[in-house]
Amino acid sequence: MKKLYASLFIAALASTAVNAQTNLVPNGDFEAWTDGAPEGFTVTPATNGGTVTQSTTELHGGASAALFTAPAGTGNVKAAIADIPVTAGHTYVFSYWFKDESDNARGRHWASWRVDTATQLTDNADVLQPGYYENTSGWQQVTYTLTAPATATLFRLDFRVYQQADGANSGLIYYDDVMFYDQATAGVNQNDIAGLKVFPNPLSGNVLNVTSNTNGVKEVAIYDIIGKQVFAGKTVNNTVNVNNLTAGVYIVNITEEGKTATRKLVVK
Ligand SMILES: [Ca+2]
């Protein structure tokens, strides 16, 4: 028993160290607040107001999340992080969770690769500067895997909440667990699951086969093209049932025994 506890403790330490090193968003889990403001974020209200406050009752992980209250009119309340230094050609994972069950608020992230603080690049603008998210059911994860363009040295990111069109005042959106990390430092080996096969592809039925040389239980997460998670589950007899997917293109993330791989999936 003693040996087991020691192993678990070391595993927990290693896991903490990896997370601390790899997440380049300070206080991305919204656990640290000073004088009512989230540490590491600069909050800018609209001329019509809007606030970002600590939520300890509604949250995705840890003990708190950020609660955005929409302005009473046009404009947005914004929470921005300091620009993150990036290395051109490295692959980064950008991910966060949000919950918008309010008819009176809509939100989005707003991000860019930059040559410097003054010069913005247009690479990945389709996903880094998206339209508004309106009304999710529960917490939703947004995830992108992106490669820093050749001239990029910085990544800029903020979250913006607006009053929903035709909405009343005081709409609410929650954000939590913001991550931005260099995949090379994540301790995750991409495409390293020996013999991985995902089929049929295109998929027309409900049963997706996910097989590998070891055929261990795999965690499967599926994202739509705007990065919203639409499925999460584990394989049973090397299959997952994905009957809730509508026709379209998806990204499938598969994890088996600490190794992760990504595949594109077309659903007919
Ligand atoms: Ca949190």
Q: Over 50: is that where the pLDDT of 246 sits?
A: yes
Q: How far apart are CA 266 and CA 264, in angstroms?
A: 7
How many Å lie between the centroid of ligand 1 and the Cα of residue 19?
14
Residue 156 pLDDT grade (very low, low, confident, very high; cuts 50, 70, 90): very high
> Taking 90 as the threshold, does the pLDDT of residue 183 lie above it?
no
Q: Strand locations in the chain, DSSP E?
A: 33-34, 37-38, 41-44, 51-55, 65-69, 76-81, 84-85, 91-99, 105-114, 140-147, 154-163, 172-182, 197-199, 207-211, 219-224, 229-234, 239-241, 248-256, 259-267
154 CA → ligand 1 middle, Å: 25
Q: Give the lowest-confidence range in 10-24, 67-81, 183-197.
A: 10-24
Q: pLDDT value at position 14?
A: 37
Structure tokens at 154: 């910085």
Whole-number Å distance, alpha carbon 127 to ligand 1 midpoint, is 24
Q: How do residues 32-70 score in pLDDT, each as one tens digit?
A: 999 999 999 999 999 999 999 999 999 999 999 999 999
Whole-model pTM above 0.95? no
Q: What band does 211 get if pLDDT is binned at 50, 70 and 90?
A: very high
**What residue has token string 């809509």?**
106
Query: Over the chain, what is the mean pLDDT?
Result: 88
SS3 category, 16: helix
Distance (Å) from CA 223 to ligand 1 centroid: 22
Q: What is the DSSP letter of 183?
A: G
Burial readout 77-106 (b: 16 or more C-beta within 10 A, e: otherwise): bbbbbeebebeeeeebbbbbbbbbebebbb
For residue 31, the one-letter residue type is E
Mean pLDDT for 232-241 is: 93
Compute the distance from residue 95 Cα to the ligand 1 centre, in Å: 14
Does residue 12 carry a pLDDT above 80? no
Domain segments of the chain as ranges:
8-185, 197-267
| CATH code for residues 197-267 | 2.60.40.10
CATH class of domain segment(s) 8-185: mainly beta
Identify the bridge partners of residue 172 per DSSP, sorted by sequence position.
69
In a 3-state reduction of DSSP, which class is residue 106? strand
pLDDT recorded at residue 18: 37
